[in-house]
Structure 1
Amino acid sequence: MSHLIRKSVQAMSGYVPGEQPKDAGIVKLNTNENPYLPSPDVQDILSMIDIAVLSRYPDPVCMELRKVIAELHGCAVENVFVGNGSDEVLALCIRSFVERDGSVGYFDPSYSLYPVLADIEDVEKRPVSLDAAYGWQMPADYSASLFFLTNPNAPTSLRYAKADVEPFVDGFDGVVLIDEAYADFADENCMDLALGKNNVLVGRTLSKSYSLAGIRLGYCVGNAELIGAMFKIKDSYNVNYLTQEIARVAVLDQDTMKANVSAIVETREMVAEKLMELGLSVLKSQTNFLWVKPLGIKAKTLFEELRKKKIIVRYFGNDERTKDYLRVTVGTAPEMFKFLDAVEAIVNGGA
């Protein structure tokens, strides 16, 4: 059957999403989901929806949702694109801004979907290796058609200063998508660059700070011509009616989002401090997860021992640059105390 499949697809490795265990009693800290309930307005809007509307196609351009997002960021509706999760936004950026002989750049390590999306479109990948402390320095004479600049970065949890990002985008000839999936957990963001630079888009998601990973809603903000290009090639009805309505009321309720973010940040700092007291190394996180390096025990061993205790974290063992770390989502305070107790028992027990 191989002759029926594109050669580039045969050769590529697909994206591997985080595990979604269904076992009862699991403490799930592996996919950076938000442990708190979304806005109560989400429940209200669901109870008010007339199921008769589901027999009709949804608004193909998500106008009411885009108006709310535009108001949030102080821009025009024409500066907003809404997608079926941020993953669709990223894919459409490659299809919109990269010629067949073009290239896609991104940090290494970073979001592992980027190279997969480039492989799907069969375009050149131009990763930029981060240094030993996960800092970034662009190689001399670097160029690409599109650069995915993840800020804060995943899986490292680090934020890069806008003062460093701005000169890069000013000197870059292609399009820069600043992927700000975790921006609400950080103390700085680059949204103003998207509103002031012709070659910059900023991507956001409702999966993290808004507690809505299940509805698959992402968006980007930027130059109206770039946004218009994405609208030309998107699927005809790419965001379903329920998602549009849920997202609209959630974005309007900034108070709930900010309260949930505040709780996560407070727990994040507490857990980081406790882990360091236990002798583990923890990078200064600006996200809803921690990038943790065990000392005196291998990361893989700690991952496996936690799993025995029904605590699931993320281990990226297939990469030399990440194999010594674990990525730990910040859950509720009770979940994190259970995690800390387990880590202490394993470390002290010499597992």
Structure 2
Amino acid sequence: MSLPTSQKQWLIQGTGQGFDSLVYQDAPIPKLGADDVLVQFQGASLNFRDLLIPQGKYIFPLQLPIVAGSDGAGTVLAVGSNVTEWAAGDRVLPLFNQGHQKGAIDTAAAGTGLGGCVDGTLRRYGVFGRTGVVRMPANLDFVEAATLGCAALTAWNAFYGLKKLAKGETVLVLGTGGVALFGLQVSNVVFQFAKAAGATVIATTSSAEKADVLKKLGADHVINYREDPNWGETARKLTPNGEGVDHIIEIGGEGTMTQSLNAIKMEGIISVIGVISGTPPKDNIIEALSRLCTVRGVYVGSRELFEEMVQAIEKHDLHPVLDEKRFTLETAKEAYEYMWAQKHFGKIGIKIE
């Protein structure tokens, strides 16, 4: 079989012109090495980080110009001569941090993120190392599966990367306020994982309308933080014997950490998985000592965690919530603008043909 030699792709040229920095171009397909796999992409999705990068607002290192896109899914088209674990026709997902195979992430692995330091997924074909892809869940289609690499794996890492979420525990999810639709993308994933584990879910929001959405997504309790400025204590009172929340998913921003510390249980974990307001928290984290809790930043997850998550998604037949509007590779720039305008509900899917 003759392999393709050229393709279409979206390149981030720089960060000075916003989404105009995205250029749709013809490009050669990278050469397939002996330890590589060639993947034909059939789905992709957008994350908040994808929007921040071309605008120069991303806080982690970049290697521009770079092919855009953090999440994708596709089929193995060919494998290198040394590759035995993959074969043509296998359905796979690329690992976001290509160098993060297992255990804790290090500086080197943190510099291998797709769409930032390594060419990403908004293209027709990609070449990855043999350990740079994982098996795609059998119960999902390509666009559904293309939503898992960043948001879903980050949530899974928050629950299982340090201290495993257990049945009967309580999860508190933040960050569905002024930028609710970005937060809700994460919340949906978190809710599904938490409910599958048999946990109770508490969520915060800023309006009755958003509270209804959160309840439909699976929240057991919803607290309106605008009406209840001491929502951390309220969340604590909703837990067994008022001892506090076991896991907190912190995606808020300035001012939320104080309430998270008020809500957390002794030996509980606060996972900071993003600051969707764009403003870093200013609260004094030394209070973690008096609360006897762990506050950890989570940067997606390892290949090992990804494989565990895929198994759980199949076992519980979990499906991500996708926005009803679909985009193609050719219209991917419109997807960026659509998401930035907060017109979406759920993850934004991009079909690649």
Tell me which interval the TM-score lies in, with the shorter structure as reference length.
Answer: 0.3 to 0.5
**Alignment TM-score, normalising by the size of structure 1:** 0.35
RCO (CA 8 Å, sep 6+): is it higher in 1 or 2?
Answer: 1
Q: Higher strand proportion, which one?
A: 2
**Alignment TM-score, normalising by the size of structure 2:** 0.35
